[in-house]
Amino acid sequence: MTTLPGRALLLICLSLLAWPAGAGWLREQQDIMGTRITVEVFHADDDVARRGVDAVMAEMRRLDAAMSPFREDSELSRVNREAAAGPVPISRELFDLLQRSRQVSDLTDGAFDITFASAGFLYDYRRHVHPDARTLKQAAARIDYHNLALDPATHSVRFSLPGVKIDLGGIAKGHAVDRSIALLRAMGIHDALVTAGGDSRVIGRRWGRPWRIGVRDPRRPDALVAVIPLEDVAVSTSGDYERFFEEDGVRYHHIIDPTSGDSARGLRSVTIIGPDATTTDALSTSVFVLGRERGLALVDRLTGIDAILVDGQGRLHYSSGLEQLQPH
């Protein structure tokens, strides 16, 4: 993480280069991985554009089948069932993502922790279910990424305690977006946007101009708090409005503070801009947990990473690399 390339490109590059309207441009949306997938590609050959979009949707389905915690037959569910009893050999891809998750855990002092699921599974946001204090305390005691032993020699994973569970909801969509962009590039597509829920990555340009990505207002679904022009970067937003319910004035939402097993409260949303979507996805969740001060301090320490935070009062805060965006 310390070797990330230079600062996210945020210059407004005005270009007179225009694309012929419609030619080679394709945009498609599908609901996969429990979220909305958007793919937009440009290629002079319509067939190549079509094949690019289809390849991305197929890749999203493949990753959902492997990593969904809601599918009994996913590789991830098998790990959750078997890894407390002994080492479970897993695919190279899942192994690498578990290792990447651990690196982010180390980097964020454990704010990012895929074993959050040891308590996270007790919530059902759609049905407004949360655990009572005693149950939560017991389950939260099992949250600790050190309870996950990874053996690179055998590509296997083992839990050191019964009751440990993992969930890649904070990083898998970013990984899926990065894999999709790699596929598109390999097909010769150099201008594209891939979005999976709150995680996006863009390459090249759109009609000869930088892509523009909006940051949603956490309390007004149709409003934006910022629009950022981007080239060749990834952007992820984590918010307390995506999956939540309220009870007695308390908001229970899907981003969990590993120290308590309870929802992380303090910020409303965190947007991270960086070189790849796996990184921005994991960091948006992490900075949400860390809160404003510790979160911005972390971002300012990292090369190539920037952030826009919306705090509990709806105020915006920027990392130092984005000061030019601030209203004066």
Give the footprint of ligand AMP on this chain (CB under 6 A): 112-114, 116, 167, 169-170, 198, 238, 242, 254-256, 258, 281, 284-285, 289
**Cα 25–Cα 230–Cα 225 angle in degrees, nearest 5:** 105
The DSSP element (H or E) to which 217 belongs, if any, is strand 211-217
Residue in this structure with the two tokens 């996270």, named with its chain if needed: 120
Helix pair 46-67, 75-82: axis angle to 10 deg: 10
Query: Which is closer to ligand AMP, CB of 42 or CB of 112?
Result: 112
CA 275/CA 197 separation, integer angstroms: 18
114 is in the binding site of which of ligand AMP, Mg ion, none (Cβ under 5 to 8 A by kind)? ligand AMP
**Least CB distance to Mg ion at residue 174 (A):** 7
Query: Which is closer to ligand AMP, CB of 279 or CB of 284?
Result: 284
Query: Which is closer to ligand AMP, CB of 200 or CB of 285?
Result: 285
Q: With CB under 5 A as the rule, give the number of residues binding Mg ion.
A: 5
Q: Tell me: does residue 286 bind Mg ion (CB under 5 A).
A: no
Instruction: Name which of 294, 243, 295, 293 is nearest 272 in CA terms.
Output: 295
Q: Tell me: does residue 167 bind Mg ion (CB under 5 A).
A: no
Residue 141 token pair: 């005691």
Q: Are strands 316-318 and 306-311 parallel, antiparallel or unpaired?
A: antiparallel
256 is in the binding site of which of ligand AMP, Mg ion, none (Cβ under 5 to 8 A by kind)? ligand AMP
Query: In the range 235-274, which residues lie near Mg ion by CB under 5 A?
Result: 238
Residue 13 token pair: 């590059």
Choosing from 105, 285, 306, 322, the residue that interacts with Mg ion (CB under 5 A) is 285
Q: Tell me: does residue 200 bind Mg ion (CB under 5 A).
A: no
Residue 202 token pair: 């863009």
The residue sitting closest to ligand AMP, measured at its beta carbon, is 169
CA 273/CA 276 separation, integer angstroms: 9
| Residues in contact with Mg ion by the rule CB under 5 A | 170, 238, 281, 284-285
